[in-house]
Amino acid sequence: MRVLLRRLMGVAVGGALAGCAGQHHPMNTLVTKSNLASWIYSLFVQVTFWDLLVLAIVVAALALAIFWFSTRVGDPTEPAAFQSDTRLELAWIIGPALILLAITVPTVRTIIRTQPNRWPKNALTVKVIAHRWWWEFSYPQYHIQTADELHLPVNREIHFELTSADIIHSFWVPALGGKRDVIPGQVNQITLIANTPGEYYGQCAEFCGLSHANMRFRVFVQTQDGFKKWMDHQLKPPVNPGSGPAAAGAAIYKNAPCAICHQIRGVSGFSKQYTYGFRGPDLTHFGSRTTIAAGILDNNPKNLARWIANPPEVKPGARMPALGVRGKELDELVAYLESLK
């Protein structure tokens, strides 16, 4: 019976939401790729069903009142001063109360289910640190870090620990579940199991100043094997530039102020001289990422050159300044960074 009711709700709500099929919506909250997102979706379908039911009742009642059970100006009969009816009034207290009960019970159950008392112990831990305006992801169990692109294994419990280096942001990957604010001085948590390999979009959801709109990221959910391969690659030291433009670029990288904020393992570490907020993305395997500048540009030499030439022009307020690297030097620097596969 309950299954049948669920099915009915699904059909009703699915019909109402028709129109989302056929188009590409990389941030669609209704296409769920994790247990967390599915739980939320199922609750959403139930509540939407009740909402549509109530809306239908209200619209029908008002339409009846206007078009059927009323008269127009010119009608000589004086309307009755119908002012109260205890049974009717009780009905529209008890009716909505029952509907609310039907919403509240699954709501509270989902709250408890999605925020377990004890966070999983054997999960893959992912530390998320939000910066203005990019994302730092690190895997403390593997001692690696990356930026703006998150790789996750499928069907394994993942435990996110979220905190911020500066102001409040919000971590949101609609396909994997609801958002969670990323708050300085506080560690928030999400736990979930992604169930389908694929590329998903994420974006900061709490207004965080000038480039809030440009604080995007990608999530790659991979097969267990694929994830292991990626992880093994990330653990390797950076590619040796050898000779040619990339080698020249490596020399420029070391002499330019890049290393103040950026890290390439074995080449330059994060400076201790500056505060946490001065950190830029880890570049050890920069060339293996598909996007740059927090998911707003494809990672190719042309875009990278444009970015390095004047970051605030690409991303308003970007904290990386224009460093004055131009011409041949710029091309060499780009060649070096792109070589860091």
Partner 1 sequence: MAAQPKPLPVEGPHYLEGGGILGWLTTVDHKRVAVLYGVTALLLMLVGGTEAMLIRTQLMRPDNHVLTAAWYNQIFTMHGTTMIFLVIMPLETGFFANFLIPLQIGARDVAFPRINALSYWLFLAGAVFMHLGLVTHVLNLGTVPSGLPNAGWFGYANLTESQYSPGLNIDFWDIGLLILGVSSVLAALNFFVTIVNMRAPGMTFMRMPMFMWAILVTTILILLAFPALTVGLIFLFLDRFFGTHFYRVTAGATPILWQHLFWIFGHPEVYIMALPAFGMISEILPVFSRKPLFGYPMMAYSLVLIAFLSYGVWGHHMFATGMGPIADATFAITSMLIAIPTGIKVFSWIATVWGGRLRFTTAMLFALAFIIEFTIGGLSGIMHASAPIDLQQTDSYFVVAHFHYVLGGGVLFAILGAFYYWCPKISGRMLDETLGKWQFWLLVIGFNLTFFPMHWLGTWGMPRRIYTYAPGMGWSTLNFVETIGAYIQAVSFIVFFANILLTLRRGEKAAADPWDGRTLEWSVASPPPAYNFAVLPEGGSRDDFWVQKYGTLAGAHGGGSSAAGATAAAHAAAEAAEHIHMPAPSLYPLLFALGVFLMGVGALAWLRIVILGGMVVALSIIAMAFEYPAHGEEAAESEPVFYRGVDNRKAGMWAFLGSECVFFTALISTYMVYKSRNLAGPDAQILNIPLTSFSTFILLMSSLLMVLALAAFRRGDDKWGRIWLLGTAGFGCIFLGGQVYEFTDFYLQGLYMQTNIFGQTFYTLVGTHGFHVFIGVCWLVTLAIAGFLGKIDSKRSLAVEIAGLYWHFVDVVWIVIFTLVYLMRTVKHA
- Residue 235, number of CB atoms within 10 A of its CB: 14
Residue 185 corresponds to which amino acid?
G
Tell whether residue 89 is a contact of partner 1 (CB under 8 A): yes
User: Using CA atoms in the order 195, 199, 200, 201, what is the torsion angle rounded to 10 degrees?
Assistant: 170
Least distance from C-beta 181 to partner 1, angstroms?
5
Among positions 7, 96, 240, 328, the unique one binding partner 1 when judged by CB under 8 A: 96
- Of 253-312, binders to partner 1 (CB under 8 A) are 296
Span interacting with partner 1, options 62-70, 134-142, 233-241, 246-254, rule CB under 8 A = 62-70
SS3 for 108-146 is HHHHHHHCCCCCCCCCEEEEEEEECCEEEEEECCCCEEE
Would you give the binding string for partner 1 spanning residues 206-245, x where CB under 8 A is met? xxxxxxxx--------------------------------
Least distance from C-beta 9 to partner 1, angstroms?
14
Span interacting with partner 1, options 47-55, 218-226, 246-254, 258-266, rule CB under 8 A = 47-55
The answer to whether residues 186 and 171 touch, using CB atoms and an 8 Å cutoff, is no
Span interacting with partner 1, options 2-10, 83-91, 151-159, 241-249, rule CB under 8 A = 83-91
Q: What is the enclosing helix (H) or strand (E) of 199?
A: strand 198-203
CA angle 73, 77, 79 (to 5 degrees): 85
- Of 4-33, binders to partner 1 (CB under 8 A) are 17, 19-20, 23-30
Nearer to partner 1, 189 or 223 (CB): 189
Nearer to partner 1, 5 or 61 (CB): 61
- Of 115-174, binders to partner 1 (CB under 8 A) are 115, 132, 166-168, 170, 172, 174
- In degrees and rounded to multiples of 5, residue 268 shows phi and psi of -145, 135
User: Using CA atoms in the order 60, 61, 63, 67, what is the torsion angle rounded to 10 degrees?
Assistant: 130
> Residues of 248-264 as b/e, b for ≥16 C-beta within 10 angstroms?
bbbebbeebebbebbbb
Edge-to-edge strands, sheet with 134-139: 144-147, 134-139, 124-131, 157-164, 188-193
Q: How many residues contact partner 1, by CB under 8 A?
A: 95
Span interacting with partner 1, options 120-128, 178-186, 226-234, 259-267, rule CB under 8 A = 178-186
Among positions 1, 2, 3, 84, the unique one binding partner 1 when judged by CB under 8 A: 84
Least distance from C-beta 11 to partner 1, angstroms?
18
Token pair 């029952």: residue? 98
